[in-house]
Structure 1
Amino acid sequence: MNSDFGALVGGLRAAAWLRAPVLALLSLLLPLAAAAAPECRQMSHAGDAYTVCTLRADRDDIRLWHSDPDDRLYGGFTAIDSALGAEGKRLAFAMNGGMYHEDRRPVGLYLENGKQRGPLVTSDGPGNFGLLPNGVFCIGDGTAAVIESRRYAESPPKCRYATQSGPMLVIDGKLHPRFLVHSDSRYIRNGVGVAPDGVTVHFVISENRVNFHSFGSFFRDVLKTPNALYFDGKVSRLYAPSLGRSDAGFPLGPIVGAAEPADQM
Protein backbone atom coordinates (compact mmCIF):
# COMPACT_ATOMS: atom_id res chain seq x y z
CA MET A 1 0.00 0.00 0.00
CA ASN A 2 1.54 3.34 -1.01
CA SER A 3 1.44 6.36 1.30
CA ASP A 4 -1.23 8.25 -0.67
CA PHE A 5 -3.57 5.27 -0.72
CA GLY A 6 -2.96 4.65 2.96
CA ALA A 7 -3.85 8.24 3.76
CA LEU A 8 -7.08 7.90 1.77
CA VAL A 9 -8.07 4.71 3.61
CA GLY A 10 -7.26 6.32 6.93
CA GLY A 11 -9.39 9.31 6.03
CA LEU A 12 -12.36 7.11 5.14
CA ARG A 13 -12.03 5.19 8.40
CA ALA A 14 -11.91 8.46 10.34
CA ALA A 15 -14.99 9.72 8.47
CA ALA A 16 -16.87 6.53 9.31
CA TRP A 17 -15.84 6.82 12.95
CA LEU A 18 -16.99 10.45 13.11
CA ARG A 19 -20.23 9.93 11.22
CA ALA A 20 -22.24 8.47 14.13
CA PRO A 21 -21.62 11.30 16.62
CA VAL A 22 -22.15 13.90 13.91
CA LEU A 23 -25.49 12.38 12.95
CA ALA A 24 -26.44 12.17 16.61
CA LEU A 25 -25.65 15.86 17.04
CA LEU A 26 -27.72 16.74 13.97
CA SER A 27 -30.66 14.75 15.32
CA LEU A 28 -30.58 16.96 18.42
CA LEU A 29 -30.23 20.22 16.50
CA LEU A 30 -32.89 19.63 13.84
CA PRO A 31 -35.84 19.42 16.28
CA LEU A 32 -34.66 22.72 17.77
CA ALA A 33 -34.77 24.30 14.32
CA ALA A 34 -38.19 22.78 13.68
CA ALA A 35 -39.52 24.34 16.88
CA ALA A 36 -38.09 27.82 16.26
CA ALA A 37 -40.22 30.68 17.58
CA PRO A 38 -42.08 32.83 15.05
CA GLU A 39 -40.05 35.76 13.76
CA CYS A 40 -41.86 38.99 14.67
CA ARG A 41 -40.43 42.33 13.60
CA GLN A 42 -41.33 45.96 13.03
CA MET A 43 -41.46 47.21 9.44
CA SER A 44 -42.61 50.38 7.67
CA HIS A 45 -43.82 51.38 4.23
CA ALA A 46 -44.97 54.69 2.77
CA GLY A 47 -45.09 56.32 6.20
CA ASP A 48 -47.09 53.53 7.87
CA ALA A 49 -45.83 51.12 10.56
CA TYR A 50 -46.53 47.40 10.72
CA THR A 51 -45.72 44.40 12.88
CA VAL A 52 -45.00 41.29 10.82
CA CYS A 53 -44.82 37.77 12.25
CA THR A 54 -43.44 35.23 9.79
CA LEU A 55 -44.01 31.49 10.17
CA ARG A 56 -43.40 28.43 8.02
CA ALA A 57 -46.18 25.94 7.40
CA ASP A 58 -43.62 23.15 6.93
CA ARG A 59 -42.08 23.82 10.34
CA ASP A 60 -44.48 25.64 12.65
CA ASP A 61 -47.63 24.26 14.26
CA ILE A 62 -50.09 26.77 12.77
CA ARG A 63 -53.71 26.32 13.85
CA LEU A 64 -57.11 27.99 14.15
CA TRP A 65 -59.11 28.10 17.36
CA HIS A 66 -62.71 29.02 18.06
CA SER A 67 -64.29 26.76 20.70
CA ASP A 68 -63.13 23.96 22.99
CA PRO A 69 -64.42 20.33 22.72
CA ASP A 70 -67.41 21.32 24.89
CA ASP A 71 -68.24 24.12 22.42
CA ARG A 72 -67.20 26.86 24.82
CA LEU A 73 -65.78 29.90 23.08
CA TYR A 74 -62.09 30.52 23.67
CA GLY A 75 -62.55 34.21 22.96
CA GLY A 76 -58.97 35.23 23.66
CA PHE A 77 -55.30 34.35 23.80
CA THR A 78 -55.13 33.40 27.49
CA ALA A 79 -57.77 30.67 27.18
CA ILE A 80 -55.97 29.11 24.20
CA ASP A 81 -52.63 29.22 25.97
CA SER A 82 -54.17 27.49 28.99
CA ALA A 83 -55.77 24.79 26.81
CA LEU A 84 -52.45 24.11 25.08
CA GLY A 85 -50.93 23.36 28.47
CA ALA A 86 -52.71 19.99 28.45
CA GLU A 87 -50.64 19.12 25.37
CA GLY A 88 -47.39 20.27 26.95
CA LYS A 89 -47.44 23.27 24.64
CA ARG A 90 -47.99 27.02 24.78
CA LEU A 91 -49.13 29.76 22.46
CA ALA A 92 -46.19 31.19 20.51
CA PHE A 93 -48.11 33.71 18.41
CA ALA A 94 -51.73 34.58 17.63
CA MET A 95 -54.09 37.17 16.15
CA ASN A 96 -57.77 37.39 15.34
CA GLY A 97 -58.29 35.17 12.31
CA GLY A 98 -61.46 36.13 10.48
CA MET A 99 -64.77 37.92 10.81
CA TYR A 100 -67.56 36.79 13.09
CA HIS A 101 -71.19 37.45 13.98
CA GLU A 102 -72.29 39.12 17.21
CA ASP A 103 -72.48 35.70 18.89
CA ARG A 104 -68.85 35.07 17.73
CA ARG A 105 -69.83 32.47 15.11
CA PRO A 106 -67.49 32.65 12.09
CA VAL A 107 -68.75 34.47 9.00
CA GLY A 108 -68.32 32.11 6.05
CA LEU A 109 -66.21 28.98 5.87
CA TYR A 110 -64.46 27.88 9.03
CA LEU A 111 -62.59 24.57 9.33
CA GLU A 112 -60.86 23.57 12.57
CA ASN A 113 -58.73 20.43 12.60
CA GLY A 114 -60.85 18.91 9.85
CA LYS A 115 -64.19 19.87 11.42
CA GLN A 116 -66.29 22.38 9.47
CA ARG A 117 -68.24 24.92 11.50
CA GLY A 118 -69.38 27.33 8.81
CA PRO A 119 -70.29 27.17 5.08
CA LEU A 120 -68.37 28.77 2.21
CA VAL A 121 -70.03 31.99 1.01
CA THR A 122 -69.43 33.01 -2.61
CA SER A 123 -72.14 35.64 -3.11
CA ASP A 124 -71.56 39.36 -2.65
CA GLY A 125 -73.06 41.12 0.32
CA PRO A 126 -72.75 43.99 2.78
CA GLY A 127 -69.62 44.99 4.61
CA ASN A 128 -66.00 44.15 3.95
CA PHE A 129 -66.63 40.41 3.90
CA GLY A 130 -69.02 40.78 0.97
CA LEU A 131 -66.67 43.03 -1.02
CA LEU A 132 -65.85 40.39 -3.64
CA PRO A 133 -63.47 38.89 -4.33
CA ASN A 134 -62.99 37.59 -0.81
CA GLY A 135 -60.90 34.57 0.09
CA VAL A 136 -59.91 31.64 2.26
CA PHE A 137 -56.75 31.13 4.27
CA CYS A 138 -55.98 27.40 4.11
CA ILE A 139 -53.51 25.51 6.30
CA GLY A 140 -52.68 22.08 4.90
CA ASP A 141 -50.09 19.47 5.81
CA GLY A 142 -46.89 21.49 5.59
CA THR A 143 -48.38 24.04 3.20
CA ALA A 144 -50.47 27.20 3.31
CA ALA A 145 -52.40 29.25 0.78
CA VAL A 146 -54.67 32.24 0.35
CA ILE A 147 -57.29 31.30 -2.23
CA GLU A 148 -60.05 33.40 -3.80
CA SER A 149 -63.38 31.97 -2.54
CA ARG A 150 -64.86 31.03 -5.92
CA ARG A 151 -61.67 29.26 -6.92
CA TYR A 152 -61.85 27.42 -3.62
CA ALA A 153 -65.43 26.36 -4.41
CA GLU A 154 -64.44 25.08 -7.86
CA SER A 155 -61.61 22.92 -6.56
CA PRO A 156 -61.48 22.66 -2.77
CA PRO A 157 -57.93 21.94 -1.55
CA LYS A 158 -57.11 19.68 1.38
CA CYS A 159 -57.10 21.98 4.40
CA ARG A 160 -56.76 20.95 8.04
CA TYR A 161 -57.70 24.48 9.03
CA ALA A 162 -59.40 27.17 6.96
CA THR A 163 -61.00 30.54 7.59
CA GLN A 164 -62.87 32.70 5.09
CA SER A 165 -62.69 36.47 5.25
CA GLY A 166 -62.72 39.46 2.98
CA PRO A 167 -61.86 41.29 1.00
CA MET A 168 -58.82 39.82 -0.68
CA LEU A 169 -55.99 42.35 -0.38
CA VAL A 170 -53.84 40.99 -3.21
CA ILE A 171 -55.08 38.71 -6.01
CA ASP A 172 -52.46 37.14 -8.29
CA GLY A 173 -50.09 40.03 -7.64
CA LYS A 174 -52.69 42.79 -8.09
CA LEU A 175 -54.54 44.87 -5.52
CA HIS A 176 -58.27 44.40 -5.07
CA PRO A 177 -59.92 46.46 -7.85
CA ARG A 178 -62.17 48.36 -5.42
CA PHE A 179 -59.35 49.85 -3.33
CA LEU A 180 -58.93 53.63 -3.50
CA VAL A 181 -55.57 55.31 -3.00
CA HIS A 182 -56.99 58.23 -1.03
CA SER A 183 -59.79 56.45 0.84
CA ASP A 184 -60.43 58.01 4.25
CA SER A 185 -61.60 54.68 5.71
CA ARG A 186 -58.66 54.08 8.02
CA TYR A 187 -58.42 51.55 10.83
CA ILE A 188 -55.92 49.35 12.61
CA ARG A 189 -56.05 46.33 10.29
CA ASN A 190 -54.66 42.81 10.21
CA GLY A 191 -54.33 40.11 7.58
CA VAL A 192 -52.25 37.30 6.12
CA GLY A 193 -50.24 36.68 2.97
CA VAL A 194 -48.46 33.58 1.69
CA ALA A 195 -45.19 33.71 -0.24
CA PRO A 196 -44.80 32.01 -3.66
CA ASP A 197 -43.11 29.02 -1.99
CA GLY A 198 -46.44 28.00 -0.40
CA VAL A 199 -44.91 27.61 3.05
CA THR A 200 -43.81 31.07 4.22
CA VAL A 201 -46.72 32.84 5.90
CA HIS A 202 -46.70 36.52 6.85
CA PHE A 203 -49.19 37.69 9.49
CA VAL A 204 -49.42 41.48 9.64
CA ILE A 205 -51.07 44.06 11.88
CA SER A 206 -50.80 47.80 11.26
CA GLU A 207 -49.53 49.99 14.08
CA ASN A 208 -51.40 53.05 12.84
CA ARG A 209 -54.65 53.50 11.00
CA VAL A 210 -54.40 52.57 7.31
CA ASN A 211 -56.79 52.24 4.40
CA PHE A 212 -57.16 49.11 2.27
CA HIS A 213 -54.95 50.42 -0.53
CA SER A 214 -52.04 51.09 1.83
CA PHE A 215 -52.48 47.78 3.63
CA GLY A 216 -52.68 45.76 0.41
CA SER A 217 -49.70 47.60 -1.04
CA PHE A 218 -47.57 46.52 1.91
CA PHE A 219 -48.26 42.86 1.14
CA ARG A 220 -47.76 43.31 -2.60
CA ASP A 221 -44.76 45.64 -2.69
CA VAL A 222 -42.83 44.82 0.50
CA LEU A 223 -43.67 41.23 1.43
CA LYS A 224 -44.11 40.21 -2.23
CA THR A 225 -47.04 37.90 -1.52
CA PRO A 226 -49.02 37.11 -4.70
CA ASN A 227 -52.17 36.60 -2.63
CA ALA A 228 -53.14 38.16 0.68
CA LEU A 229 -56.33 38.25 2.74
CA TYR A 230 -57.82 40.80 5.11
CA PHE A 231 -58.83 39.45 8.51
CA ASP A 232 -60.44 42.47 10.15
CA GLY A 233 -60.16 46.04 11.37
CA LYS A 234 -61.18 47.87 14.56
CA VAL A 235 -60.96 44.60 16.54
CA SER A 236 -57.46 43.66 15.32
CA ARG A 237 -55.26 42.25 18.09
CA LEU A 238 -51.88 40.54 18.34
CA TYR A 239 -50.26 38.08 20.74
CA ALA A 240 -46.48 38.04 20.30
CA PRO A 241 -44.52 37.02 23.43
CA SER A 242 -41.23 37.63 21.61
CA LEU A 243 -42.24 41.31 21.51
CA GLY A 244 -43.73 41.32 25.00
CA ARG A 245 -47.13 41.95 23.46
CA SER A 246 -50.58 40.60 24.33
CA ASP A 247 -53.37 42.91 23.17
CA ALA A 248 -56.47 42.86 25.36
CA GLY A 249 -60.11 43.52 24.51
CA PHE A 250 -63.56 41.98 24.23
CA PRO A 251 -63.96 38.29 23.20
CA LEU A 252 -62.96 37.34 19.66
CA GLY A 253 -64.34 34.74 17.25
CA PRO A 254 -61.80 32.78 15.15
CA ILE A 255 -58.18 33.08 16.27
CA VAL A 256 -55.17 32.01 14.22
CA GLY A 257 -51.82 31.24 15.78
CA ALA A 258 -49.01 28.80 16.41
CA ALA A 259 -48.27 26.39 19.23
CA GLU A 260 -44.81 25.44 20.46
CA PRO A 261 -43.45 23.09 23.15
CA ALA A 262 -43.90 24.61 26.61
CA ASP A 263 -40.23 23.99 27.44
CA GLN A 264 -38.99 25.76 24.28
CA MET A 265 -36.32 28.34 25.16
Structure 2
Amino acid sequence: MISDGETGNARGQSVEFVLGGDLDALLHHRYREQCVDGVLRYPLGRRTSVKDALEAVGPPHTEVESLIVDGRPVDFGHRLQEGQRVEVLAPEPPVDFHTPTQLKPWAPGRPAFLADVNVGGLATQLRVLGFDTLYDNTLDDEDAAAMAEAERRIVLTRDRALLKRSNVVWGRLLRAQEPEEQLAEVLTLYGLRPPFATFTRCVRCNDLLVDVAKADVLHLLEPKTKKYYDAFKMCPSCGRVYWAGSHHERLQERVEWLSRRLEEGEKKNFANS
Protein backbone atom coordinates (compact mmCIF):
# COMPACT_ATOMS: atom_id res chain seq x y z
CA MET A 1 0.00 0.00 0.00
CA ILE A 2 1.38 3.40 -0.98
CA SER A 3 1.05 6.06 1.71
CA ASP A 4 0.80 9.82 1.55
CA GLY A 5 3.97 11.05 3.25
CA GLU A 6 2.28 14.10 4.76
CA THR A 7 -0.90 12.58 6.20
CA GLY A 8 0.02 8.93 6.64
CA ASN A 9 -3.15 7.94 4.77
CA ALA A 10 -3.46 5.52 1.93
CA ARG A 11 -3.84 7.24 -1.39
CA GLY A 12 -7.45 7.40 -2.42
CA GLN A 13 -8.69 8.49 1.02
CA SER A 14 -9.48 11.98 -0.18
CA VAL A 15 -12.16 14.35 -1.34
CA GLU A 16 -12.27 16.59 -4.37
CA PHE A 17 -12.81 20.32 -3.95
CA VAL A 18 -14.12 22.12 -7.04
CA LEU A 19 -13.47 25.79 -6.35
CA GLY A 20 -15.57 28.51 -7.99
CA GLY A 21 -14.80 32.16 -8.62
CA ASP A 22 -11.35 33.20 -7.45
CA LEU A 23 -11.27 30.81 -4.48
CA ASP A 24 -8.32 28.92 -5.96
CA ALA A 25 -6.28 32.12 -5.54
CA LEU A 26 -6.97 31.97 -1.78
CA LEU A 27 -5.39 28.53 -1.39
CA HIS A 28 -2.26 28.27 0.72
CA HIS A 29 0.80 28.09 -1.50
CA ARG A 30 1.40 24.32 -1.30
CA TYR A 31 -2.22 23.57 -2.18
CA ARG A 32 -2.29 26.15 -4.95
CA GLU A 33 0.47 24.20 -6.69
CA GLN A 34 -1.66 21.05 -6.55
CA CYS A 35 -4.85 22.73 -7.80
CA VAL A 36 -5.58 22.21 -11.51
CA ASP A 37 -8.33 24.22 -13.21
CA GLY A 38 -9.95 24.95 -9.86
CA VAL A 39 -9.95 21.29 -8.76
CA LEU A 40 -8.04 20.24 -5.64
CA ARG A 41 -7.77 16.72 -4.26
CA TYR A 42 -7.57 16.93 -0.48
CA PRO A 43 -6.37 13.96 1.66
CA LEU A 44 -8.62 13.02 4.57
CA GLY A 45 -6.55 12.48 7.68
CA ARG A 46 -9.59 12.07 9.97
CA ARG A 47 -13.31 12.67 10.04
CA THR A 48 -13.66 16.38 9.56
CA SER A 49 -16.25 18.98 8.65
CA VAL A 50 -16.23 20.63 5.26
CA LYS A 51 -15.58 23.97 7.02
CA ASP A 52 -12.45 22.71 8.77
CA ALA A 53 -11.12 21.00 5.64
CA LEU A 54 -11.77 24.00 3.43
CA GLU A 55 -10.15 26.46 5.83
CA ALA A 56 -7.17 24.12 6.23
CA VAL A 57 -6.38 24.62 2.54
CA GLY A 58 -6.92 28.38 2.62
CA PRO A 59 -10.29 30.07 1.93
CA PRO A 60 -12.20 31.27 5.01
CA HIS A 61 -15.80 30.10 5.20
CA THR A 62 -17.06 33.67 4.71
CA GLU A 63 -15.86 33.48 1.09
CA VAL A 64 -18.29 30.68 0.28
CA GLU A 65 -21.82 31.22 -1.01
CA SER A 66 -22.95 27.59 -1.13
CA LEU A 67 -21.64 24.03 -0.86
CA ILE A 68 -22.78 21.13 -3.03
CA VAL A 69 -21.62 17.62 -2.09
CA ASP A 70 -22.34 14.96 -4.70
CA GLY A 71 -25.17 17.12 -6.05
CA ARG A 72 -26.74 17.91 -2.67
CA PRO A 73 -26.59 21.25 -0.80
CA VAL A 74 -24.94 20.95 2.64
CA ASP A 75 -23.91 23.26 5.44
CA PHE A 76 -20.48 23.84 6.94
CA GLY A 77 -20.98 21.09 9.52
CA HIS A 78 -21.24 18.36 6.89
CA ARG A 79 -18.80 15.52 7.67
CA LEU A 80 -16.70 14.62 4.68
CA GLN A 81 -16.40 11.07 3.46
CA GLU A 82 -13.85 9.47 1.18
CA GLY A 83 -14.41 10.10 -2.51
CA GLN A 84 -16.91 12.93 -2.16
CA ARG A 85 -16.97 15.77 -4.68
CA VAL A 86 -17.41 19.15 -3.00
CA GLU A 87 -18.44 22.09 -5.17
CA VAL A 88 -17.48 25.31 -3.39
CA LEU A 89 -19.34 28.25 -4.92
CA ALA A 90 -18.13 31.80 -4.41
CA PRO A 91 -20.53 34.74 -3.98
CA GLU A 92 -21.27 36.78 -7.07
CA PRO A 93 -22.12 40.48 -6.88
CA PRO A 94 -24.46 41.85 -5.88
CA VAL A 95 -24.56 39.79 -2.69
CA ASP A 96 -27.96 39.82 -0.98
CA PHE A 97 -27.35 40.83 2.65
CA HIS A 98 -31.07 40.87 3.51
CA THR A 99 -31.77 37.12 3.35
CA PRO A 100 -30.32 34.31 5.51
CA THR A 101 -29.08 31.22 3.67
CA GLN A 102 -28.14 27.65 4.56
CA LEU A 103 -24.58 28.81 5.24
CA LYS A 104 -25.53 32.15 6.81
CA PRO A 105 -28.18 31.69 9.54
CA TRP A 106 -28.75 35.45 9.91
CA ALA A 107 -28.51 38.45 7.61
CA PRO A 108 -27.42 42.01 8.48
CA GLY A 109 -30.44 43.45 6.69
CA ARG A 110 -28.57 46.69 5.99
CA PRO A 111 -25.00 47.60 4.93
CA ALA A 112 -23.36 47.69 8.36
CA PHE A 113 -19.66 46.86 8.57
CA LEU A 114 -16.89 46.11 11.03
CA ALA A 115 -13.46 47.02 9.65
CA ASP A 116 -10.59 45.50 11.57
CA VAL A 117 -7.26 47.08 12.44
CA ASN A 118 -5.58 46.35 9.10
CA VAL A 119 -8.13 48.28 6.99
CA GLY A 120 -8.55 51.54 8.89
CA GLY A 121 -8.32 53.61 5.72
CA LEU A 122 -11.27 51.71 4.26
CA ALA A 123 -13.30 52.41 7.41
CA THR A 124 -12.79 56.15 6.95
CA GLN A 125 -13.85 56.01 3.31
CA LEU A 126 -17.00 54.04 4.10
CA ARG A 127 -17.93 56.56 6.80
CA VAL A 128 -17.45 59.44 4.34
CA LEU A 129 -20.08 57.77 2.13
CA GLY A 130 -22.41 57.44 5.13
CA PHE A 131 -22.10 53.71 5.80
CA ASP A 132 -22.31 52.48 9.39
CA THR A 133 -18.76 51.20 9.92
CA LEU A 134 -17.37 50.14 13.27
CA TYR A 135 -13.60 50.54 13.62
CA ASP A 136 -11.65 50.14 16.83
CA ASN A 137 -7.95 49.37 16.57
CA THR A 138 -7.88 48.12 20.16
CA LEU A 139 -10.13 45.12 19.43
CA ASP A 140 -8.51 41.70 19.20
CA ASP A 141 -9.94 39.04 16.87
CA GLU A 142 -12.10 37.46 19.56
CA ASP A 143 -13.76 40.73 20.53
CA ALA A 144 -14.15 41.85 16.91
CA ALA A 145 -15.88 38.59 15.98
CA ALA A 146 -18.18 38.78 19.00
CA MET A 147 -19.12 42.37 18.23
CA ALA A 148 -19.81 41.61 14.57
CA GLU A 149 -22.11 38.77 15.62
CA ALA A 150 -23.91 40.78 18.31
CA GLU A 151 -24.44 43.83 16.08
CA ARG A 152 -25.08 41.88 12.85
CA ARG A 153 -22.16 43.39 10.94
CA ILE A 154 -20.18 42.35 7.87
CA VAL A 155 -16.49 41.93 8.76
CA LEU A 156 -14.03 43.55 6.35
CA THR A 157 -10.42 42.49 6.75
CA ARG A 158 -7.26 41.09 5.19
CA ASP A 159 -6.83 38.76 8.18
CA ARG A 160 -7.86 35.17 7.36
CA ALA A 161 -7.71 34.09 10.99
CA LEU A 162 -10.45 36.54 11.98
CA LEU A 163 -12.77 35.31 9.22
CA LYS A 164 -12.22 31.67 10.15
CA ARG A 165 -13.84 32.18 13.56
CA SER A 166 -17.11 30.26 13.64
CA ASN A 167 -19.15 33.20 14.97
CA VAL A 168 -18.17 35.39 12.01
CA VAL A 169 -21.07 34.78 9.64
CA TRP A 170 -20.67 37.58 7.10
CA GLY A 171 -17.31 38.86 5.94
CA ARG A 172 -14.98 39.67 3.10
CA LEU A 173 -11.31 38.81 2.80
CA LEU A 174 -10.34 41.91 0.86
CA ARG A 175 -8.30 41.23 -2.24
CA ALA A 176 -7.30 44.85 -2.85
CA GLN A 177 -4.56 46.48 -0.78
CA GLU A 178 -5.20 50.22 -1.21
CA PRO A 179 -8.19 51.81 0.61
CA GLU A 180 -9.77 53.27 -2.54
CA GLU A 181 -9.56 49.93 -4.34
CA GLN A 182 -10.92 48.16 -1.25
CA LEU A 183 -13.84 50.59 -1.21
CA ALA A 184 -14.68 49.85 -4.84
CA GLU A 185 -14.42 46.12 -4.06
CA VAL A 186 -16.88 46.34 -1.17
CA LEU A 187 -19.37 48.55 -3.02
CA THR A 188 -19.29 46.26 -6.04
CA LEU A 189 -19.63 43.05 -4.05
CA TYR A 190 -22.67 44.22 -2.09
CA GLY A 191 -24.26 46.18 -4.92
CA LEU A 192 -24.07 49.53 -3.13
CA ARG A 193 -24.66 52.39 -5.52
CA PRO A 194 -25.12 56.17 -5.39
CA PRO A 195 -26.67 58.33 -4.27
CA PHE A 196 -24.75 57.84 -1.04
CA ALA A 197 -25.49 59.54 2.28
CA THR A 198 -22.19 61.39 2.07
CA PHE A 199 -20.90 63.53 4.94
CA THR A 200 -23.56 62.34 7.38
CA ARG A 201 -21.26 60.40 9.73
CA CYS A 202 -18.29 61.33 11.85
CA VAL A 203 -15.18 59.88 10.22
CA ARG A 204 -13.57 59.62 13.64
CA CYS A 205 -16.23 57.74 15.62
CA ASN A 206 -18.98 56.71 13.15
CA ASP A 207 -21.84 58.55 14.89
CA LEU A 208 -24.43 60.41 12.81
CA LEU A 209 -23.79 64.15 12.57
CA VAL A 210 -26.31 66.74 13.72
CA ASP A 211 -26.85 70.29 12.54
CA VAL A 212 -25.50 72.89 14.92
CA ALA A 213 -25.86 76.67 15.02
CA LYS A 214 -22.75 78.66 14.16
CA ALA A 215 -23.07 80.62 17.39
CA ASP A 216 -22.81 77.39 19.38
CA VAL A 217 -19.46 76.40 17.84
CA LEU A 218 -17.98 79.84 17.23
CA HIS A 219 -15.43 79.36 19.99
CA LEU A 220 -14.12 76.24 18.23
CA LEU A 221 -13.52 77.85 14.82
CA GLU A 222 -10.47 79.41 13.22
CA PRO A 223 -10.79 83.08 12.10
CA LYS A 224 -11.12 82.28 8.37
CA THR A 225 -13.70 79.58 9.06
CA LYS A 226 -15.74 82.06 11.10
CA LYS A 227 -15.60 84.55 8.24
CA TYR A 228 -16.40 82.35 5.24
CA TYR A 229 -18.68 79.54 6.49
CA ASP A 230 -22.10 79.56 8.12
CA ALA A 231 -23.42 75.95 7.98
CA PHE A 232 -21.99 73.45 10.47
CA LYS A 233 -22.53 69.92 11.72
CA MET A 234 -21.24 68.33 14.89
CA CYS A 235 -20.61 64.82 16.09
CA PRO A 236 -22.66 64.26 19.27
CA SER A 237 -20.12 61.71 20.53
CA CYS A 238 -16.72 63.37 20.10
CA GLY A 239 -17.74 66.98 19.49
CA ARG A 240 -15.86 67.29 16.21
CA VAL A 241 -17.22 70.09 14.00
CA TYR A 242 -17.67 69.75 10.22
CA TRP A 243 -18.27 72.29 7.46
CA ALA A 244 -18.04 72.35 3.65
CA GLY A 245 -14.48 73.61 3.35
CA SER A 246 -11.74 72.74 0.85
CA HIS A 247 -11.26 69.27 2.35
CA HIS A 248 -14.98 68.63 1.87
CA GLU A 249 -14.64 69.65 -1.80
CA ARG A 250 -11.76 67.23 -2.38
CA LEU A 251 -13.74 64.41 -0.80
CA GLN A 252 -16.74 65.26 -2.96
CA GLU A 253 -14.54 65.00 -6.06
CA ARG A 254 -13.42 61.53 -4.97
CA VAL A 255 -17.02 60.46 -4.37
CA GLU A 256 -17.98 61.64 -7.86
CA TRP A 257 -15.00 59.77 -9.34
CA LEU A 258 -16.01 56.62 -7.51
CA SER A 259 -19.62 56.93 -8.68
CA ARG A 260 -18.46 57.21 -12.31
CA ARG A 261 -16.22 54.18 -11.89
CA LEU A 262 -19.04 52.07 -10.49
CA GLU A 263 -21.36 53.18 -13.28
CA GLU A 264 -18.77 52.32 -15.93
CA GLY A 265 -18.28 48.92 -14.30
CA GLU A 266 -22.01 48.22 -14.45
CA LYS A 267 -22.15 49.16 -18.14
CA LYS A 268 -19.18 46.88 -18.88
CA ASN A 269 -20.77 43.93 -17.04
CA PHE A 270 -24.06 44.51 -18.84
CA ALA A 271 -22.32 44.56 -22.22
CA ASN A 272 -20.57 41.29 -21.44
CA SER A 273 -23.69 39.53 -20.16
Structure with the largest fraction of helix: 2
Normalising by structure 2, report the TM-score: 0.25
| TM-score, normalised via structure 1 length | 0.25
Q: Which has the larger radius of gyration?
A: 2
